[in-house]
Amino acid sequence: MSASTPIQTLTPMAIQARKGKEPIVCLTAYTTPIARLADAACDVVLVGDSVGMVLHGLPSTLGVTMDMMILHGNAVMRGIGKALCVVDMPFGSYEESPAQAFRNASRLLAETGAAAVKLEGGVSMKETIAFLVARGVPVMGHIGLTPQAVNVLGGYKVQGRNEDAQRVLADARAVEEAGAFAIVLEKLPRSLGADITNRLGIPTIGIGAGPECDGQILVIDDMLGLFADFRPKFVKRYANLAEQAEQALASYAQDVRSRAFPGPEHSFGERT
């Protein structure tokens, strides 16, 4: 392949075909520069509604709007070359009815150029997922800990323990039967994550659901260590950028106050 040959963007069907094969690498992104970095390493880049907490300082994902998702979806798509871009449907944009879900999902895809949407819920969303898929909207499911339902779930707790495992398994089956091309499993016991992965014919993308899943996803700011005081058990930090940024900012402030910056190399002389 020559350097000028366009890179073929991954499709939902290509991701679905990865079931049981090479693990699927996924990360969130919300801006063009981060999307470019993620695109080089990832198969799937998710414009997560976690943007509300990560970039906008909201206490949960519940305040995220369609306009916010479209804004960040467009930014991410400008940085995507090969990865599949999936955009989260925000709280309140799909729960009312399948028709409402289609209006908003079609708007997300049309206005961002992304290839698929993700929505939360299992059995309760089966009809909605099927409605979207039948009308040409690829859907990634999301079960287990569903952050948009945090008030009903009583916090960000592990789901599917003991007798609750049957409920989560029923949700997984419903999402697959509805036609989703993949499903996110969040904050489940490892054994349940493995069981669901073995039972389903579509890829499972784990976030705190064990290494047996067909792929993994993390919030990119978490794995880069941009939040010094936030360390969920399921996150592995691959960098500590918050500490490095603090040191860089302190050095900058010191240089400005001491007039060490800008130096001669950063200044312009008279035109000759």
CA distance 244 to 55: 19
Report yes or no: 79 and 39 within 8 Å, Cβ to Cβ: yes
Q: Judge whether 82 is annotated as a binding position.
A: no
Q: Judge whether 49 is annotated as a binding position.
A: yes
Q: Judge whether 50 is annotated as a binding position.
A: yes
Rounded to the nearest 5°, which phi and psi values hold at 110? -70, -40
Q: Judge whether 164 is annotated as a binding position.
A: no
Q: What is the residue-wise DSSP string for the chain?
A: --TTSPPPPP-HHHHHTTTTSSPEEEEE--SHHHHHHHHHH-SEEEE-TTHHHHTT--SSGGG--HHHHHHHHHHHHTT-SSSEEEEEPPTTSSSS-HHHHHHHHHHHHHHH--SEEE--BSGGGHHHHHHHHHTT--EEEEEES-GGGHHHHTSS-----GGGHHHHHHHHHHHHHHT-SEEEEES--HHHHHHHHHH-SS-EEEESS-TTSSEEEE-HHHHTT--TT---TTPPPS--HHHHHHHHHHHHHHHHHTT-SS-GGGS-----
Q: Judge whether 118 is annotated as a binding position.
A: yes
Task: Report DSSP state, residue 121.
Answer: B
Catalytic-labelled residue, pool 176, 186, 246, 270? 186
Catalytic residue flag (residue 96): no
- Which token pair is 30? 């919300």
Residue positions annotated with a catalytic role: 186
Binding-site residues for Mg(2+), in ranges, read: 49, 88, 120
Binding-site residues for 3-methyl-2-oxobutanoate, in ranges, read: 49-50, 88, 118
